[in-house]
Amino acid sequence: MKLVSMIDFVLDWTPKEVGFLTDEEWADSVHEYATFLNQPLNLGMFVPAIEVDGKWEVLEMPTPNISDSGNWNFQARENQYQQAKDRVLFEGFESDGFMVESELIGLKYASILGGGYKIFDLLDYGKPTLTAKGQELSGLK
């Protein structure tokens, strides 16, 4: 599912689906989506990454090696990677650690990450596809 503007969100749901929701449920869904769109962007929304000491680090899929005695080290890295991957909100992005880009919409997002931009600003550059987690958090389904 593609990210949509707040106007499209409201117009696409009104009036056809409002009849199935109470006024309070409708207001809650609009508020939930507006809150989602107003989140500041971070690297972890595009690729598996973690914040360490205020800086984002891109995680790579771990591979076991000889030094992983008892596989605890490998298992911890694998768990950390999977948790970061599960938090990604937008599909089709790759990173070299400094720049995030997508061939799907032909954009490079280095300039907007950490620059005070919010999720709704992505609509100026295209409509990225939301992951299952992104759909869940946004209320779009």
Distance CA(88)–CA(93), nearest Å, equals 10
Taking Cα atoms as reference points, which of 42, 37, 41, 40 lies closest to residue 10? 37
Question: 89 and 134 in contact (C-beta within 8 Å)?
Answer: yes
Most confident of 84-88, 95-99, 107-111, 119-123: 84-88
Q: Would you state the pLDDT for residue 115?
A: 76
Q: Would you state the pLDDT for residue 14?
A: 56
Does the pLDDT value for residue 103 go beyond 80? no
